[in-house]
Amino acid sequence: MVQRNPCIANIKTAYLFPEIARRRREYAAAHPGVKIISLGVGNTTEPVFPHTGGGLSAGAAALAASETYTGYGDEQGLTALREKIAAVLYKGMVAADEVFISDGAKCDIGRLQLLFGAGTQAAVQDPSYPVYVDGSVLIGAAGGAMQGGAVYRGLTYLPCVEENNYFPDLDMIPPNGLVYFCSPNNPTGVVSDRKQLAALVEAVRGKGSIIIFDAAYCEYIRDPALPRSIYEIEGAKSCAIEVNSFSKSAGFTGVRLGWSVVPKDITYTSGESVNTDWNRICTTIFNGASNIAQAGGLAALDNEGLKETRALTDFYLGNAKLIRDALEHLEISCVGGDNSPYIWAHFPGRDSWDVFSEILEKCQVVCTPGAGFGPTGQNFIRFSAFGHRADVEEACIRLGNLK
Ligand code: PGU
């Protein structure tokens, strides 16, 4: 018999979103014929726009002709796409060989942890995208099993709550460790401003730590004063890795395309280059993103494609406004939804799984219980703005049943 990886035994039994899907199925089975609307998992619903879709089609067609067929590409991604991301999205703040194309931000968050391995101190915003926590536990970084509630021993939870404007106490960041930081934030929808991120970078540099900055929702930022990338902050190139994705900007959740920026300035305690190791990891256990997806990514970064990104994100932000207005009409206090596709709604004194069940039963709307994102999420519900407009409108009317 082969021994089970003890880190797997440490992890919570189910990943958050499959658990929500299970409860939805259970409800649907008990209530046949009822139309359930999902404002739960952040999954895109609208078709890829024509110019970007044309890139995907051309990528597929190229594979079907002998003159244009390509097999494996460079593990780090197409040079043209790395260059285009560096030039168009980062305006030259990062170099093409610091950009590594991936099959999505979630997969990269998992793989990046191989750079640091077991025993690494890790801090997460509380609440946060569960992959930072579960991924850390899987690799043994958190070093321990659950402590009770939703808390893992060995992980530092940085509460981000109304009282601190959803920005953590930087003194709590562990030295020589990792800090996962997401802005626009999943699940709160709050975006950190320039001053806050400058303080984060300064604190992290002072502690000899590294930020894993998740910018998956940066295309939802409408306020021009808010930073879209951590590299807009001075000093970040020596202490921050950024993960990003075409999922929510181009509707590529099912296509699978993302990237990580690993600056050459970042070194370990030993002085070795993190960028060189990331290159080694990518070439060893990743065989490159799909060439069809990358052809779509190139099109998404053309001027026409960028207009499509704006239109798609405008659409989901329109949904977010409807949801936020509906909740505020019910006098439910919330944040997010203006520069982000998530709304974080407060249900004081209530258990978030109970509120989840109440919303499912009274409104036939699926949402995400805040407790799934960490201990401070206990009295909150996350509403996702990803949905067809008519469904979102109907869901907003049904939320009136909560009165
Ligand atoms: N980073 C953040 C902050 C996310 O919220 C998500 C998706 C990803 C990365 C994943 O990006 P990919 O490039 O598509 O891999 N979060 C969604 C979907 C749930 C999930 O498990 O990824 C959500 O509902 O939170």
Helix (H, G, I), strand (E, B) or coil at 34: coil
Q: At what angle do helices 389-398 and 303-329 cross, to 10 degrees?
A: 10
Residue 6 pLDDT:
86
Please list the alpha-helical segments (H only) found in 208-273.
247-250
Q: Is the pLDDT of residue 245 over 90?
A: yes
- Predicted confidence band at 49 (pLDDT cuts at 50, 70, 90)? very high
Q: How far is the CA of 91 from the centre of ligand 1 (A)?
A: 25
**Alpha-carbon torsion (30, 36, 41, 46), positive or negative:** positive
**Ordered structural domains, the chain, with CATH:** 6-48+305-402 (3.90.1150.10), 51-303 (3.40.640.10)
Report, in this order, helix, strand and coil percent for the chain, each rounded to 5: 45, 15, 40
- Average pLDDT score over residue span 373-390: 97
Q: Is the pLDDT of residue 147 over 80?
A: no
Residue 182 pLDDT:
98
Please list the alpha-helical segments (H only) found in 85-158.
105-112, 130-139
pLDDT tens digits, 295-312 = 999 999 999 999 999 999
Determine the Cα–Cα distance for residues 241 and 389; give it in Å rounded to an integer.
35
Q: How far is the CA of 106 from the centre of ligand 1 (A)?
A: 6
Residue 109 pLDDT:
97
- Average pLDDT score over residue span 239-243: 98
Residue 119 pLDDT:
85
What phi, psi does 210 have (nearest 5°)? -130, 140
Q: How far is the CA of 69 from the centre of ligand 1 (A)?
A: 31
Residue 149 pLDDT:
67
Residue 69 pLDDT:
98
| Nearest CA owner, ligand 1 atom 5 | 186
Whether residue 252 contacts residue 224, with contact meaning beta carbons closer than 8 Å, is answered with no
- Average pLDDT score over residue span 93-113: 97
Residue 303 pLDDT:
98
Q: Is the pTM of this model over 0.75?
A: yes
What phi, psi does 230 have (nearest 5°)? -65, -20
- Average pLDDT score over residue span 345-355: 97
Determine the Cα–Cα distance for residues 220 and 235; give it in Å rounded to an integer.
24
- Average pLDDT score over residue span 2-14: 85
Determine the Cα–Cα distance for residues 347 and 355; give it in Å rounded to an integer.
8
**Of 39, 108, 131, 241, which is best to mutate to test ligand 1, by the most ligand atoms within 8 angstroms of its C-beta?**
131
- Average pLDDT score over residue span 82-89: 98
pLDDT, the chain, mean: 96
Atom of ligand 1 nearest to the CA of 258: 13
**Of 106, 112, 367, which is best to mutate to test ligand 1, by the most ligand atoms within 8 angstroms of its C-beta?**
106
pLDDT tens digits, 189-231 = 999 999 999 999 999 999 999 999 999 999 999 999 999 999 9
Ligand 1 site residues, Cβ closer than 6 angstroms: 17, 41-42, 104-106, 129, 182, 186, 214, 216, 245, 247, 253, 258
Determine the Cα–Cα distance for residues 39 and 31; give it in Å rounded to an integer.
19
